[in-house]
Amino acid sequence: MAEFEDMAYRTKCSERTLQTEVKGFFMDFVELVKDRAGKTWIQNTFGKLKTDSERIRSIYTSDETKDAVVSILSNVQEIYRKKDATVSQLKRLEAENVLEKGEISKSLMLYSQSVLRAPRTGQCNSFDSGLSLSLALWGRSKVLMIMKEYSLALNDIQQAVKEHLPNVFKAEAYWKMAVCYKALNEGQKAKVAFELAEKLMDSEKKKEQLQQDKETEFSSSNKGRKKERLQAPIGCSDCSNVAFCKPACRDAALSSYHSYECKYLDLLIGSGMSILAHTALRMVTQQKLEKCLEIYKNKSEEKIFNLCTNSDKRDSEDFFQRTLMAAFLLRCLQKCGYFGAQNDSELPTEDEFKIGEFLLFSLQMLQFNAHEIFEQVTVQDYSIKGSKLSYIGIGIYPTVAFFNHDCYPAVTRYFVGKDVVVKAVRLLQTNDIVAENYGPIFHRKPLKDRQKILSSRYWFKCKCEACIHNWPTKDEMENIQQRVRCPTTNCPNVFTLPVSNSLTSCTKCKENINLDENIRLLNWCEEECQKGLEFLDNNKPDKVVEVLCGALDIFHRVSIPPHKSTQLAQEILQLCMASFGNVSNTLKKK
């Protein structure tokens, strides 16, 4: 077992990768089974097991655990937030009222709540004649058109018509569709929609207004930038627990993972399980059983099975907790129909055991290899200065997971949709380690704190250059003197500035050298970093990246870190590169 600086903190960190919420019931389940099994059995019998297959089978077959495990897991049942036509109607009426008062944002929020709580069309005829969903979508489309969000409005109108929008609104629906198509530069579709609307319309006054819209130019608010997620969410047809950004995403979810998770989401949330544990479940539910079994069968060829789990460093208690989480997730899969016909036996089938083993592996692997997916959140004019990174999910990227950590990272990453993009933020030489950062960066956290975090959360002692030489934090960098490299090729020597004479002899390569050019270039780098800040103030990320990349390349040729201005430049570079990925303009100006 490797030495860790704080074993109690390490244990707490590990438990948090299973159960995040303090009020969840999962750790109570663990404690109950632990009491039945006894510490001696867990350490001396369960702790001696060598494979995940043995571990998952053991808790179902050993006399010390099987009764408690089976008894508690028999309570797994559907618990989810159901649709409610009453709530949907109330939210829609409230949305109409605030819209009349000109409260656009609040109206949009209330209409969205109405959409998400609305049951399937025809499911609850005592409210809105069973048309709650179509009426909520129709109402929201009006708000979106006021906001000039024509693409989103068009989606809502089309969905409202699909959900049997009352005939009294049909003419207006095609009219508004035509306006949306026109704003989106789809002239032929706009022409057809206008013609349909005119045929259905019986009011001469409205026909005159329609004719005016035919001749009016409309422009969308979408200027080609990324839009904030869930501006006009679409719900699941059965539960009110989830929201999707568009119908296509919903349909993809309903045809895969959400069809299994839907009616158990509140149970999963109530367990207090972490997002990593949910991701382990999602790795199964996003595929059909046959595909998962195929992955299991060919696991020696799958990248994820080559990722680190640190199984050789886990103690029996940690394995026991993860095995019970795998059993809980397995029971949810059994109950939701993932395996087809429900198994009434207390003992899982062979296929179920294989999926249980897959879950147990994933619960270990994700602890060290999952990546937080984020987007850049900017103020409403898309100004990068003052923007923040907002974490919106978890993903597993097997190639990126092979990147090791450095407290002075060589790369940054951002996300375009679900895809991760990795870019260098400093000069890399042949055979250099291409390292990313797992959280603690040298200029933000002192050595002791970094070592504690990394050894407890990721189970290794960092030996990067910043840790070996105890580089200063940002506040301490003022005391760092500037340095320049010896200009002789491949000479590792550096000179601390100021020097008494730029014409000197190098003590390492023994050459007579002139430091003037490297000193000039170092000063140039600092000037370029300042220029990059000016481009940032003018919200020109492309120019910032161009200027700072050039400055940082030269800096690493003529000097060495740590260096305050170039460290700030790397942070700004990361921020600007993030603007090339997912962006949401939801921050308010102060």
pLDDT greater than 70 at residue 221:
no
Band the pLDDT of 220: cuts 50, 70, 90.
Answer: low
238-242, 260-264, 389-393: which has the minimum mean pLDDT?
Answer: 389-393
Average pLDDT (449-472) is 96
Residue pair 252/236 in contact (Cβ under 8 Å)? The answer is no
Question: What are the beta bridge partners of residue 584?
Answer: 377
Distances (CA, A) of 248 to 43, 133, 148, 251: 49, 17, 22, 5
Q: Where are the domains of the chain?
A: 7-75+245-369, 85-230, 373-587
Closest-CA residue to 447 (of 429, 423, 471, 425): 471
Residue pair 118/275 in contact (Cβ under 8 Å)? The answer is no
Band the pLDDT of 261: cuts 50, 70, 90.
Answer: very high
Tens-digit pLDDT profile for residues 37-72: 999 999 999 999 999 999 999 999 999 999 999 999
Tens-digit pLDDT profile for residues 67-104: 999 999 999 999 999 999 999 999 999 999 999 999 99
Band the pLDDT of 431: cuts 50, 70, 90.
Answer: confident
Q: How far is CA 525 from the centre of its chain?
A: 35
pLDDT greater than 90 at residue 587:
no
Strand 388-395 and strand 234-235: the pairing is unpaired
Q: Which two tokens stand for residue 1?
A: 């077992």
User: CB neighbours (10 Å) of residue 552?
Assistant: 22
Tens-digit pLDDT profile for residues 367-397: 999 999 999 998 767 788 888 999 989 999 9
Which helix (H) or strand (E) segment holds residue 352: the answer is: helix 350-369
Q: What is the CATH number of domain 85-230?
A: 1.25.40.10
**Dihedral class, residue 510 (left if φ above 0, else alpha if ψ from -120 to 50, else beta):** left
> CA–CA separation, 297 vs 354, rounded Å?
9
Question: What are the beta bridge partners of residue 393?
Answer: 373
User: CB neighbours (10 Å) of residue 289?
Assistant: 16
Closest-CA residue to 187 (of 199, 196, 178): 178
Average pLDDT, the chain: 92
Angle between helices 350-369 and 289-297 (to 10 degrees): 70
Residue pair 351/289 in contact (Cβ under 8 Å)? The answer is yes
Which helix (H) or strand (E) segment holds residue 244: the answer is: strand 243-244
pTM (2 decimals)? 0.91
